[in-house]
Structures are given as C-alpha cells and as structure tokens.
C-alpha cells in the first residue's frame, strides 16, 4: 500500500472524528520529524496508522493481540484503553504488510510510552498530544515544548496522563512509569530539570 491507500483504508475503519485525528497526528508527526531530523515518511505512516484498531470491538482487539503472539500482563488485561495500541501494532504488521520495526513499535507504545524510546516512538507519542484538533487547556504549552525539546514535551504529556489516571484511581502501566523515569533521567543529563 502507498500512503494515500493507507489513508483511505483508515478512513473506512473509523468514524469521521477519529479519522481527522489520525490525519492530524500524521501531519504533526511529519512536522516533528522535520524538526528533529527523523524519517519523515515513517512518521507520516505511523501517524496515520497509530489508532487503526481504536474503533473495532474489544473482543477483536484481544483476538488480534492473541494472534500476534502477545500475552497481556495483568495491568494490560485490566486496562482496555491500552489494547488498541497493542492490537494496532500486530494489525499493521500482519494485515497491512508493515515490516519496519520502528513503525510497529511506535504504534505499540504510543499510549503508554516505554523506557529508551526511539526518536520515531517519541515523535508519535508527542504528535498524538499536539494534533490540530486537540483543544485541552495547555495544548499551546505542549506544542511549544514539542518543537523545543521532545523529552520535555514527553514529560509534560506523561505528567498529564499519569495525574489524570491517579485522579481517576486507574492503574498506571509499568511502561508509562518506566518512560517517565527514563525521560527525567534524559532531562537531568541535558541540564533541563
């Protein structure tokens, strides 16, 4: 498939709002890739595909995850919001012929993050927070950070997600905690804390 085929495929798999979000994440990912000298083409593809399994039934998500040979840990089992990212990574590999590990991992870890993320993984995680239709209170702060320092933007996003989860008494996945600690470490090394 080429990029416009990915787009029309995605359009048919989700509602209008989610499709607009996917296109916008793709556009933000392109901008970030240019800013940080990453592979623009991979950023565009990972962006458009990142939520490809967001609007399918939960039992299908679980079935795709299983078919990909992935065993969910306890935290993942209890947090269905995490399933679309894991299922998406299997789906693009096994159904859309995406072979690139970095694209696959960017999709798999776009919701929780993880320690030692690649540049592309950070770009997709961050693009998801700054896409054009996002309108939460501090989105302008987040956008500025995103183009200034990716780790700083990631920290801001993680603080937002983690405090929201604790306020709602929801579990925080280990990957999110490891991501948070890793990003703090990077920022400290850069003298940005």
Give the binding site for ligand DGI (CB under 6 A).
51, 54, 79, 81-82, 85, 110-112, 128, 161, 165, 170-173, 176
Residue numbers at the binding site for Fe ion (CB under 5 A): 51, 128
- The residue behind tokens 């096994």 is 94
Long-range contacts of range 185-192, CB-CB < 8 Å, 24 or more positions apart? Answer: 186/151, 187/151, 187/152, 187/155, 190/149, 190/151, 192/149, 192/151, 192/152
Output 85 or 90, the one with its CB closest to ligand DGI. Answer: 85
**Least distance from ligand DGI to the Cβ atom of residue 193, Å:** 22
48 binds, among ligand DGI, Fe ion, none (CB under 5 to 8 A by kind): none
Output 82 or 142, the one with its CB closest to ligand DGI. Answer: 82
Torsion of CA 104, 107, 112, 116, to 10 degrees: 40
Output 112 or 186, the one with its CB closest to Fe ion. Answer: 112
172 binds, among ligand DGI, Fe ion, none (CB under 5 to 8 A by kind): ligand DGI
**Beta carbons within 8 Å of 58's beta carbon, 6+ residues apart:** 80, 83
């Amino acid at each position: 498939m080429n990029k416009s085929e990915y787009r029309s495929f995605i359009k048919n798999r989700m509602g209008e709002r989610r499709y607009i979000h996917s296109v916008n994440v793709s556009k933000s990912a392109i901008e970030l890739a240019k800013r940080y000298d990453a592979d623009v083409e991979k950023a565009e593809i990972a962006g458009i595909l990142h939520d490809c399994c967001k609007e399918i039934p939960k039992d299908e998500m679980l079935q795709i995850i299983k078919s990909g040979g992935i065993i969910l840990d306890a935290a993942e089992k209890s947090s269905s919001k995490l399933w679309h990212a894991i299922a998406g990574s299997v789906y693009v590999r096994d159904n859309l012929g995406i072979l690139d590990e970095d694209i696959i991992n960017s999709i798999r870890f776009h919701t929780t993050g993880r320690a030692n993320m690649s540049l592309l993984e950070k770009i997709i995680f961050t693009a998801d927070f700054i896409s054009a239709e996002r309108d939460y209170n501090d989105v302008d702060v987040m956008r500025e950070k995103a183009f200034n320092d990716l780790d700083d933007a990631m920290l801001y996003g993680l603080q937002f997600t983690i405090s929201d989860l604790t306020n709602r008494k929801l579990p925080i996945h280990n990957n999110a905690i490891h991501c948070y600690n890793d990003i703090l470490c990077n920022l400290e090394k850069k003298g940005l804390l």
